[in-house]
Amino acid sequence: MKKYTIIFLLFFFLCIGVLVKVLSNKHQVKEESKILSPTEKKVEPKVEQIVSNVVLEDTIRAPQENLELPLIHSKDQIIRHLAYTIRYSEAYEQAAWVAYELTADETNRLYERSNDFESDPNVSTGSATDRDYKGSGYDRGHLAPAADMSSTANTMQESFYYSNMSPQDPSFNRGIWKKLEELVRDWAVDYKSVYVVTGPVLTDGLPTIGPNHVSVPKYYYKVILDHHEHPKAIAFILPNQGSKESLTRYVVSIDELERITGIDFFPGLVDREENALEKEVCIACWSWTSSSSGSRSHHSSKNVGTSSQCMGTTKKGARCKRMTKDPSGFCYQHD
């Protein structure tokens, strides 16, 4: 009897020991789980959020050598020509922006205007045509000016693609808009080169012209960046109408222009520099007097004060019969 009692007690204590060990291990695993769980909960959502942001943002930042390019989204229709790049908006049948670098050498007019307007063969959905503008009362207004594209025959011709045109009031196109274009060329000479982004302010409900329903913008913008020893940037928003006001009247911050257009300009800049340049409005940082350089046609002394026959050609190939005093040698319709 005593023998069986001893065996029973040994077996009992052995079971107790095994049970204690099992409970101890289970408690240890639970404690480790409590320690690891918060870390896991912090890490996993962060990874998911980063992936989510990439998918939602889905944008391409311009490399440093392409500072003129705004932020590009994967679904944007981007067309690169020899001297400029556009983001085409099929909904409005025109470019949302045109971007390019303009150097001092490129302001020299080596090739005259072709005046050969044509549809852009690179627009996959088709661009506007002659029929859209005919009889509309609006000018086929250049976004990237022909005078900025005159360094080669090909760049000049590409400037006459309808993807680079927008319906502009004649008094605007031939007046204050032309004045701003000339000022930008002055700055390209003064500062050796500038980056330019220009386009219409596209909003819902705009009136349209032609069978392709080309939208008629109420406003146009132009942004210029001088990225040299003392970087500076400036933006303009102008109504699509004639004006005798000074161009400084239409200067705004780039931050304000981004708010209005929804376009992120100059994303290739270092963030700190981009933020500083885009929030300030420094009119005094820029030269507002014409350059003394005689290399550009609009500052040439040729024909100043005297009238001469326009050097432009009509659609039929004949020389324009209008007389002009413009130093370029072209009348208002062909300049």
Catalytic entry in 142, 227, 299, 334 = 142
The residue length of the chain stands at 335
Residue of 256, 253, 251 whose CA lies nearest to 238:
251
Rounded Cα distance between 162 and 141, Å, is 9
**3 state SS of 5:** helix
Q: How far is CA 49 from CA 36, 41, 53, 55, in A?
A: 20, 13, 6, 10
- Taking each helix axis as running N to C, give the angle between helix 254-261 and helix 271-279, from 0 to 180 degrees, rounded to the nearest 10: 90
Rounded Cα distance between 185 and 108, Å, is 10
Q: Is residue 142 annotated as a catalytic residue, yes or no?
A: yes
165 φ/ψ angles, rounded to the nearest 5 degrees: -110, 155
Residue found under tokens 């400084």: 248
Q: What is the set of active-site residues?
A: 142
